[in-house]
Amino acid sequence: EIDGRDGFVLNAGAVNTGPAYFATMGIVLRQGRDFAWDDLQGASPVAVVSESLAARLWPAESAIGHRIRQVVVTAGGPRPPGPWQTVVGVAADVRQRYGDGNLSDIYTPWLPDFRFGSLFLRSGGRTDVLPVLRSTAGEIDPRAVVDFFHATAEDNRELSGTTFLSILLTAFAGVAVLIAILG
């Protein structure tokens, strides 16, 4: 949930990222800037929002410079709101996971006290980078565990099958409607 201007509470996805995340993932920044290394220190809380979220909160103006804060709602009720964050960028809408219908996202800097996360790496099609990645992560932090490597090409293959099935079912539904109309 996001607490925006005028007390709006919106359903939004939360994504913790670092500098160059948008370029690595191929997400276009429509306005403003990406996160800088200084943002990861958390001194001045900042955020990047998706186009959809910006349009919902500030439909007639730029989101840059406005402030928002996250409100996490659990089964036990809402937690205290997080700190106010200044919007420094607006990113193109993307689906964060398969089947994600919510395009209202807030991106916040990955802070040092976070325990878990994902590392996205653009490897130019090479698949032999996992041993180097494990070694480098171990040098930075011996407690770091790199236990999964997933190529986006696999995602594309999975989605192409689902897309084909959707088109096929839509065609069958159209034929069924046509038969029903014709009697």
Phi, psi of 128 (to 5 degrees): -95, 20
Length reported for the chain: 183
Distance CA 48, CA 108 (A): 7
Taking alpha carbons only, the member of 36, 33, 52 closest to residue 44 is: 36
Q: What pLDDT sits at residue 3? A: 45
* Residue 109 burial (C-beta neighbours within 10 Å; 0-12, 13-18, 19+): buried
Would you state the pLDDT for residue 1? Answer: 43
Is this structure's pTM higher than 0.85? Answer: no
Helix (H, G, I), strand (E, B) or coil at 6: helix
Whether the CB-CB separation of 97 and 14 falls below 8 Å is answered with no
One-letter amino acid at 121 equals: L
Q: Residues 6 or more apart from 27 whose CB is under 8 A from it? A: 21, 91, 92, 94
Residue among 24, 72, 17 nearest 39 (CA):
17
Residue 47 neighbours by CB distance under 10 Å? 26
**Tens of pLDDT along the chain (183 residues)?**
444 444 444 566 777 888 888 888 888 999 999 988 888 876 788 999 999 889 988 888 999 999 888 777 777 777 777 788 899 999 998 876 555 556 678 888 876 665 555 666 666 666 677 777 778 777 877 777 666 655 555 555 555 556 667 777 888 888 888 888 887
Q: What is the pLDDT of residue 7?
A: 44
- Write the pLDDT tens digit of every residue in 107-152: 888 766 655 556 666 666 666 777 777 787 778 777 776 666 555 5
Tell me, what's the pLDDT at 152? 57
